[in-house]
A = this chain, B = another copy of it.
């Protein structure tokens, strides 16, 4: 094999590997509708669990129930939901048409701030839930839901 043909062979092999890698990535990358389904699902799970805490606060307080719910919310708050909002998912249908406003994809600083607030208050709620004082849980629950509302107000279209 001449040096030139050897170089070409190596280059061709590298290209083949690169093409195979790109194919693998393309196969693995979830489609926008899948990502939108996942993010809609994640917020539904948050809604289920905030509802469990509210039911406990409004009715007979159940510490175990509140702890489980708070632990679920904090896990989702800290899981990195931002990965479910990549470019290309500004519009589209998951379980239903996305309700996200275009502004979410444009104001990364504010989105980051809101996400940090959600994470911080959810983390605090899980701590307070573990202690189990209903009055403290009620206060912290209110702080958490305010972080939901601020983000919904700015970045979620009205129903």
State whether the Cβ of A112 lies closer than 8 Å to any Cβ in chain B: no
Cβ–Cβ < 8 Å partners of A49 in chain B: 79
Q: Complex: how many Å from CA A40 to CA B48?
A: 12
| Min C-beta distance of A132 to chain B, whole Å | 17
A68-B78, A71-B79, A79-B68 are known contacts. Are A44 and B38 too (CB-CB below 8 A)? yes
State whether the Cβ of A55 lies closer than 8 Å to any Cβ in chain B: yes
- B80 close to A68 (CB less than 8 A): yes
- B68 close to A72 (CB less than 8 A): no
Residues in A38-56 with C-beta less than 8 Å from chain B:
38, 40-42, 44-45, 47-49, 51, 55
Give the B-binding residues of A (Cβ under 8 A).
24, 28, 30, 37-38, 40-42, 44-45, 47-49, 51, 55, 58-59, 65, 68-69, 71-72, 74-76, 78-80, 84, 95
